[in-house]
């Protein structure tokens, strides 16, 4: 007996529009949140979401069910967002990079009064390089070597960008209290 998710996947593999719509409606809100962390403007996140779902549907045959469907879709969305940045890199930013390795103690602060939307806005307000590295490291769980390889930067650049992102976020948080 097939689970509802297995049926959804099977019907999407057959190209059934009704099931593709169901899959989109099930995962789009969460995946838009994933994409939104990588861009300052919601329109850019929506573009990444749309491109990501095109990839999901064109590659659904490669989903073998080894992991969760949500995790597979999430990975596609992250890669799509990164590819969009690479494609438009000349339009975005020139990264201010310190090539020195800096270590900082991870200070956990309690900001119970903050809403998720406030934190998302703070992350979105970071410069592109900082925001991308912060998302990949802190939210997606990449290590610095994976980030360096994915973005085509040095290991120390990844570490430096994360440090600077954390400092900027901490400064923003400190201004709230």
CA pair distance 56, 63, nearest whole angstrom: 9
Contact 132, 85 (CB under 8 A): yes
| Whether the predicted pLDDT of 61 surpasses 90 | yes
Torsion 150-133-140-143 (CA) sign: positive
Confidence label for 92 from pLDDT (cuts 50, 70 and 90): very low
Assigned token pair, 101? 């390795």
CA pair distance 86, 108, nearest whole angstrom: 32
- Mean pLDDT for the stretch of residues 69-93: 82
Question: What is the reported pTM?
Answer: 0.67
The SS3 of residue 60 is helix
CA pair distance 61, 15, nearest whole angstrom: 10
Lowest mean pLDDT among 2-6, 69-73, 75-79, 95-99: 95-99
The SS3 of residue 20 is helix
């Amino acid at each position: 007996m097939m689970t509802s998710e297995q049926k959804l996947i099977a019907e999407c593999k057959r190209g059934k529009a009704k099931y593709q719509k169901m899959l989109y409606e099930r995962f789009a809100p969460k995946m838009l949140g994933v994409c939104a962390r990588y861009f300052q403007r919601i329109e850019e996140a929506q573009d990444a979401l749309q491109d990501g779902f095109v990839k999901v549907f064109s590659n659904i045959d490669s989903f073998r069910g080894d992991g969760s469907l949500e995790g597979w879709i999430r990975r596609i969305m992250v890669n799509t967002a990164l590819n969009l940045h690479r494609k438009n890199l000349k339009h975005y930013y020139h990264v201010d990079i310190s090539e020195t390795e800096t270590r900082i103690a991870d200070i956990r602060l309690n900001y119970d009064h903050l809403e998720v939307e406030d934190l998302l806005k703070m992350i979105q307000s970071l410069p592109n390089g900082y925001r991308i590295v912060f998302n990949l490291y802190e939210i997606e769980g990449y290590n610095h070597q994976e980030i360096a390889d994915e973005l085509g930067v040095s290991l120390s650049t990844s570490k430096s960008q994360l440090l600077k992102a954390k400092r900027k976020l901490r400064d923003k948080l400190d201004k709230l209290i």
